[in-house]
Amino acid sequence: MKHSLPSPVTNQLIESFPHQERKAFLADCENVDLVFGDVITEQGGKILHVHFPLDSFVSQIASLSDREQLEVAMVGSEGMLGNPLIMAIDESPWLALVQGAGPALRMPAAVFGRHLEQSPALQVLLKRYLYVVMGQLSRVAACTHFHQVEARLARWLLMTQDRAHSDHLHLTHEFLAMMLGVRRAGITLSAMALQARRLISYHRGDITVLDRAGLIEASCDCYASDRSLYRRVITEGGVSEIG
């Protein structure tokens, strides 16, 4: 479904574009509604558009089989979907599944390619974003192997809260187990532990974050490290150096 462009734009990555590039870029975007459960791209599928979530978020899932799936990245208003196009590759390495419905900006892949060709400044900024994504992916791999489920669950809830822009989340144990690549029993025990510490409340899939500061303390350091990387490379190291 298409709409007129929202004002102001709330995608942080687009807000980091140099002013002239941002203005020209937005002129070629359309506003669409992402629907919960929709697949934007299949793993190995062709990328037809880039998406910049506004008040929505998407899980990027690596799938070895129907039963072996793991979320490797989550993209909301801080980023974009379709980043292989920055490297002139139009194949998606992951399944992109909408987890938070809402508006997003969308641009055809060919138009996105023309903007990159015409703007060295835009190329530099989006290469910075690729570096951030690479750092986050490597941390997910290490985090999944080394960190306890409770800390990883706390981190995942914080990431979801940031992108949902809400303290109230609807997430079943089955879904959380798939996203974190663990057994359902592990999620149940970890959620009970976080609830016993009064960090969250949980009832039939409805989760409310009660104590964000406490949840940050309960999470592994990966949450703060991801945010710090984005801030250093994009927020602080973006327009001022390439504009």
Which CATH number do you get for residue 19? 2.60.120.10
With the CA atoms of 208, 213, 214 and 215 taken in that order, what torsion angle do they form, in degrees rounded to the nearest 10?
50
Edge-to-edge, what's the strand order for the sheet holding 30-34? Answer: 2-3, 30-34, 102-108, 49-53
Domain boundary among 112, 138, 162: 112
- What is the per-residue pLDDT for 155? 96
Helices (H) and strands (E) in the chain, counts: 10, 11
Q: Is 159 exposed, middle or buried (0-12, 13-18, 19+ CB in 10 A)?
A: buried
pLDDT at position 8 is 52
Distance CA 87, CA 61 (A): 20
- What is the spatial distance between Cα 61 and Cα 242, in angstroms, rounded to a whole number? 32
Q: Report pLDDT for 185.
A: 92
207 located within any domain = yes
Q: What integer pLDDT is reported at residue 69 of this predicted model?
A: 87
Nearest C-alpha neighbor of 152 from the set 229, 200, 220, 62:
220
Q: Are residues 15 and 83 in the same domain?
A: yes
Statement to judge: residues 70 and 156 lie in one domain: no
For residue 40, is it within any domain? Answer: yes
Amino acid 200: pLDDT: 97
What end-to-end distance do the CA atoms of the chain give, in Å?
34
SS3 208: strand
Whether residues 47 and 92 share a domain: the answer is yes
DSSP 5: P
Is 14 in the same domain as 94?
A: yes
Q: Write the CATH number for 168.
A: 1.10.10.10
Bridge partner list, 115? none
pTM of the model: 0.88
Question: CA 242, CA 79: separation in Å to the nearest integer?
Answer: 18
Residue 119 lies in a domain: no
Type of residue found at 184: R
For residues 92 and 174, state if they share a domain.
no
The answer to whether 234 and 12 have CB atoms below 8 angstroms apart is: yes
Percent helix, strand and coil across the chain, each rounded to 5? 50, 25, 30
In a domain, 62, yes or no: yes
Residues 23 and 87 in one domain: yes
Q: Tell whether 124 is covered by a domain.
A: no
Residues 91 and 158 in one domain: no
Rounded alpha-carbon distances, angstroms, from residue 92 to 2, 42, 132:
24, 7, 18
Residue 237 lies in a domain: no
Q: Which amino acid is at 40?
A: I
- Chunked into runs of 10 residues, the chain (243 residues) has average pLDDT values of 48 93 94 95 97 95 86 95 96 95 96 96 95 95 93 96 92 86 91 96 92 97 95 76 34
Residue 228's pLDDT is what? 95
Asked if residue 106 and residue 13 are part of one domain, the reply reads yes
| Domain extent at residue 168 | 148-219
Is residue 228 domain-resident?
no
Residues 97 and 181 both lie in one domain: no
Give the per-residue pLDDT at 238. Answer: 52
Does 16 share its domain with 98?
Answer: yes
Work out how many domains the chain is built from and give that number: 2
Same domain? For 105 and 159 the reply is no
Do 93 and 35 belong to one domain? yes
